[in-house]
Structure 1
Amino acid sequence: MQEKPLSSGQQTGMLIFILMMIPAIGFGGGILAALLMVWGMIMARRNQDFSYIRNTMIAIRWYLYLLALGLFATAVFLWIDSYTPGMEELGFFLMPVIPLISLVLVRVMFYEPLLEHSDWVIKHGIFSNEHSVQRGNTSIGQGFISRLFSRKTTAVSSPAPEQTVTTASIAENSPVDELERWVRLRDANAISEEEYLQAKQALMQRMTNT
């Protein structure tokens, strides 16, 4: 499954998780976690190494643990500082639960889907699928270049059949006609200058022997 794209349900869950992170960033406590996740994804894609996301998850886990511990210490301090502790002060002890819930959401909705499809994610991203990747490999620009290349190749290689036919029929003509044909082939860039000189020398030798 590591080389397969995320399913539509997993991609939807990832989108919901990103939307849920926006209010957390607004409250301030989720800014560092969001920056760590973005950094991990960028570095994993750039270096083709999933360990960046794994290390990011470890850092986020310890950050949320420390945040929960800090909120718990704050709740204890407010409880002790209050002369008449009531339900309002008791509500402060619910604050450390928020980072712990966030840790569960980060692991279930962010890390585990990426881990399950790690090879695909670091190559193509979270919201790509096989169809979009295949379509991207045959883009309009690449198709246009390939067509130009194929036309150029055909134009260069087209004189080759003419050379074969002409060479086969040269022996039936006089030496002068043969020489004229070799000149035309050379002028049409169907043969090289060296081939032309070799043919000319052979014709001259043949005329001398006759």
Structure 2
Amino acid sequence: MKNEPLIANEHYKIFLFLLLLIPSILLLVGIIPALALAIGYYLMKKNRDFSSIEASVKALNIYWKLIAVLTLIWAAVVALIFVVEIRSNPGFWGNPNEVDFGILAAWTVGLLATAAGHIFMAEHLYSKPLRNHSEWVVANGIFSNQLKTTPQASPKNSIDILQSQKLKQYSVADELVKWAKLKEDGHISNDEFDEARSKLLGRS
């Protein structure tokens, strides 16, 4: 399954995930996770290594968990201020000039829901479909259903290489025959023949 293309349902999940990223990007809070995912995909294609995708999803999860923690800390501080103000000023709750804690509470819940939602979506709509087809995604991309082939040497090039090797071997053999003839005729010594043969064989 890892080396098979994604099915239509998985394509829809990834497309939905990308669409759901848009609101958080427009609100600026989702820019960093979007960049992390884009960089992860780029590095995966460049290095042909699926671990870049996994690392980008992990970075996204860490980011949103950090947002959630900071939101909870902020909510706790706001709640503490609210309690102090209520105790010191009984009319604080109905004063229109004071901070609307209802809006602050809504923002807190909204940020927490956004963080949890993005962590869930990153795992089930993006990471899981890609992980199930990791080998295919690395080799062919996410939305491709066709196998990409690497260019191979043409038969003509292979024939040319073989012919050149045969010619080279033939020329060496021809030279060896000539040197052997010279040795047989007594024109060169055995040492000279051995030296010439070593040079010819080393050149082949």
Give the TM-score of the pair, scaled to structure 1: 0.59
Report SS of the residue matched to 1:6.
Answer: coil
RMSD (Å), alpha carbons: 2.4
Deviations along 1:91-150, whole A, 9 cap, x unmatched?
3441323201110011100100010000011111111003xx47xx6xxxx9xxx8xx8x
* Equivalent-residue separation in structure 2 for 1:126 and 1:25 (angstroms): 22
Instruction: Report if the CA contact (8 A) 1:48-1:122 is conserved.
Output: yes
In the alignment, what sits opposite 2:31?
Answer: 31
Please identify, of 37-46 and 54-63, the stretch whose mean Cα deviation from structure 2 is larger: 54-63
Which structure: larger Rg? 1
In the alignment, what sits opposite 2:7?
Answer: 7
* Equivalent-residue separation in structure 2 for 1:101 and 1:18 (angstroms): 13
Higher helix share: 1
* Equivalent-residue separation in structure 2 for 1:67 and 1:6 (angstroms): 32
Instruction: Report if the CA contact (8 A) 1:79-1:90 is conserved.
Output: no
Deviations along 1:4-45, whole A, 9 cap, x unmatched?
011011111111111111111111111111001000111011
1:28 is aligned with what amino acid? L
**Cα separation, partners in 2 of 1:93 and 1:23, compared to 1, 3 Å:** closer
- Unaligned stretches of 5+ residues in structure 2: 86-92, 94-99, 160-204
Question: 2:138 matched to 1:122?
Answer: yes
Per-residue deviation, 1:72: 1.3
Instruction: Report if the CA contact (8 A) 1:75-1:92 is conserved.
Output: no
Q: Quick one: higher RCO (CA 8 Å, sep 6+), 1 or 2? A: 2
Number of matched pairs:
139
Report SS of the residue matched to 2:49.
Answer: coil
Give the TM-score of the pair, scaled to structure 2: 0.61
Match of 2:106 among 91, 94, 99: 91
Match of 1:109 among 125, 130, 150: 125
Report SS of the residue matched to 1:126.
Answer: coil
* Equivalent-residue separation in structure 2 for 1:19 and 1:3 (angstroms): 26
In the alignment, what sits opposite 2:72?
Answer: 72
Please identify, of 89-98 and 108-117, the stretch whose mean Cα deviation from structure 2 is larger: 89-98
State percent identity of aligned pairs. Answer: 26
Report SS of the residue matched to 1:96.
Answer: helix
Report SS of the residue matched to 2:4.
Answer: coil
